[in-house]
């Protein structure tokens, strides 16, 4: 895949490619000629050093189908496994595959002849409509650590409970986007339309809704009403007609920093209205959003039986975090790894940032890094600053006292430490918001 890079070769994929080529009966040079690529490209695929582009992979699959290289009756399953193993950003084109397999299926006369001889025919499943997909700026998830329970719960919410609005929440670097994208790929085939949008560039709500309408509507609208309410109404009409999966990444972009009431930045208040109507209105679609903070509109709509849910992410467990560290080739026993995971609270991004420092400055030795007793590297400091700057002055003060005390404090003890007394209700709300953030 263009632009794809990783530290270790994917030997499992390489072996898969080599086995398929030899089953087809081609040399590396012969396959390269058939696909219109260099022999070196084929060698790189089989060595696990790179992945083919989607168009080359389709040509390879077609060659394999013509050569009956896939097990009879399991063609679809095997081809989908190959597609996933090749880390393609493009969603698999099921309609293309069905047409390809039908071209290879025997004619009715051939079928009758085969049946009289007791032979098996090619098993071609019924064609399913493939979703209309717009990945936007989705990034490639090359490694996914742990999160099996979280992923299973989200899948149940989306497919079994058919939730309308789901928020994946957590501190920066905890893996919200990675989990959302992994979930999106796993459930995409159950939807008619799949859309991913990053909100980092802070589009106006009116523009986002218009963008979604253009993707979801089979007939692009010539013009959009000026009113946001009317645009949302049109969007809901489409969400009722076509089961759609919409993933909105980084919603905290629109939340006001230093606010105690989760208010939106000026000009972006419409996002609150959009989420409220998505959660309250009847439709068959699902919105998944990621955010460092929960939008205030979601709280009243949530519940075990409600169709609006939130999932808070905490750090990776030791097993998953150890897998992450193993890919960084750090040196250290299980005790050192566990301590490093603990000081980073299992935050995947923090672990990656610290691992890079250990590799560059400490010869990959975890124990040498821990001996310095300074775990806040430049990258981790920047990560924490992004979260810290979103807090109110009172929340800054509360965190400072927690850091000084280094032990649990109840509200009475915390209130007594404040140099400038504040209403107890304000203190209680500030602590509550800190827990949520």
CA dihedral 179, 293, 215, 207 (to 10 degrees): -150
Q: Is 108 helix (H, G, I), strand (E, B) or coil?
A: helix
Instruction: Identify the CA nearest to 268 among candidates 315, 334, 199, 222.
Output: 199
Query: What is the C-alpha to C-alpha distance for residues 311 and 170, in angstroms, rounded to an integer?
Result: 9
Residue spans of the domains in the chain: they are 11-116, 132-312, 318-385, 391-436
From residue 164, alpha-carbon distances to 168, 277, 306 in Å are: 13, 10, 9
Query: What is the C-alpha to C-alpha distance for residues 182 and 401, in angstroms, rounded to an integer?
Result: 39
pLDDT tens digits for 291-315?
A: 988 888 888 899 888 999 999 999 8
pLDDT tens digits for 64-95?
A: 998 888 888 788 888 888 888 888 776 677 76
Compute the chain's Rg from CA coordinates: 26
Sign of the alpha-carbon torsion through 196, 251, 177, 53 = positive
Query: What is the C-alpha to C-alpha distance for residues 291 and 261, in angstroms, rounded to an integer?
Result: 16
Query: What is the C-alpha to C-alpha distance for residues 279 and 139, in angstroms, rounded to an integer?
Result: 27
**Residue 113: what pLDDT?**
46
Measured N-to-C along each axis, helices 11-24 and 75-85 cross at an angle, to the nearest 10 degrees, of: 140
**Residue 127: what pLDDT?**
38
Cα 161 to chain centroid, rounded: 20
pTM above 0.75, yes or no: no
**Residue 278: what pLDDT?**
95
**Residue 115: what pLDDT?**
42
Query: What is the C-alpha to C-alpha distance for residues 178 and 215, in angstroms, rounded to an integer?
Result: 23
Regions of the chain with pLDDT less than 70: 1-8, 90-91, 95, 104-131, 218-222, 257-262, 373-383, 386-387, 389, 436-437
The long-range contacts involving 430-433, CB below 8 angstroms and separated by at least 24 positions, are 430/260, 430/392, 430/394, 430/395, 430/398, 431/398, 433/260, 433/392, 433/395
CA dihedral 323, 324, 327, 328 (to 10 degrees): -130
- Residues ≥6 apart with Cβ < 8 Å to 51: 1, 4, 10, 13, 45, 86, 87, 88
Beta strand 165-169 with 244-249 is unpaired
Query: What is the C-alpha to C-alpha distance for residues 11 and 85, in angstroms, rounded to an integer?
Result: 11
- Per CATH, the number for 11-116 is 1.10.260.40
Read off φ and ψ for residue 312, nearest 5 degrees.
-90, 130
Q: How many other C-beta atoms are found inside a 10 Å radius of the C-beta of residue 157? A: 19
Is the CATH number of domain 132-312 3.40.50.300?
yes
């Amino acid at each position: 895949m263009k632009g794809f890079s990783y530290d270790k070769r994917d030997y499992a994929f390489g072996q898969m490619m080599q086995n398929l080529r030899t089953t087809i009966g081609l040399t590396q040079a012969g396959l390269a000629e058939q696909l219109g690529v260099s022999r070196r490209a084929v060698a790189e695929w089989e060595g696990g050093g790179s992945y083919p582009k989607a168009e080359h992979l389709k040509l390879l699959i077609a060659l394999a189908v013509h050569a009956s290289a896939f097990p009879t009756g399991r063609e679809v399953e095997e081809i989908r496994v190959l597609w996933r193993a090749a880390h393609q950003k493009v969603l698999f084109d099921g309609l293309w595959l069905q047409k390809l397999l039908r071209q290879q299926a025997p004619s009715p006369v051939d079928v009758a002849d085969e049946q009289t001889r007791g032979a098996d025919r090619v098993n071609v499943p019924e064609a399913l409509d493939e979703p209309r997909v717009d990945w936007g700026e989705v990034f490639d998830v090359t490694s996914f650590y742990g999160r099996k329970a979280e992923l299973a719960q989200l899948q149940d919410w989306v497919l079994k409970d058919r939730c309308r609005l789901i928020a994946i929440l957590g501190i920066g670097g905890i893996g919200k986007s990675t989990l959302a994208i992994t979930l999106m790929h796993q459930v995409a085939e159950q939807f008619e339309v799949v859309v991913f949008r990053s909100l980092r560039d802070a589009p106006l709500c009116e523009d986002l809704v218009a963008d979604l309408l253009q993707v979801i509507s089979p007939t692009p609208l010539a013009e959009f009403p000026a009113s946001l309410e009317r645009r949302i109404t049109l969007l809901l009409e489409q969400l009722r007609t076509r089961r759609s999966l919409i993933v909105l990444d980084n919603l905290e972009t629109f939340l006001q920093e230093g606010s105690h009431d989760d208010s939106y930045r000026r000009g972006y208040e419409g996002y609150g209205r959009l989420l409220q109507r998505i959660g309250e209105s009847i439709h068959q679609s699902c919105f998944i959003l990621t955010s460092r903070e929960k939008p205030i509109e979601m709280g009243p709509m949530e519940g075990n039986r409600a169709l609006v849910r939130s999932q808070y992410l905490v750090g990776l467990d030791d097993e998953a975090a150890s897998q992450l560290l193993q890919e960084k080739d750090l040196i250290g026993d299980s005790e050192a790894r566990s301590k490093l995971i603990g000081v980073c609270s299992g935050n995947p991004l923090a672990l990656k940032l610290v691992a890079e420092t250990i590799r560059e400055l400490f010869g990959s030795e975890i124990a040498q890094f821990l001996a310095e007793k300074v775990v806040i590297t430049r990258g981790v400091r920047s990560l924490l600053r992004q979260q810290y700057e979103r807090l109110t002055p009172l929340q800054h003060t509360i965190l400072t006292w927690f850091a000084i005390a280094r032990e649990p404090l109840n509200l009475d003890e915390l209130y007594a430490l404040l140099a400038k007394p504040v209403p107890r209700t304000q203190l209680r709300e500030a602590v509550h918001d800190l827990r949520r953030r």
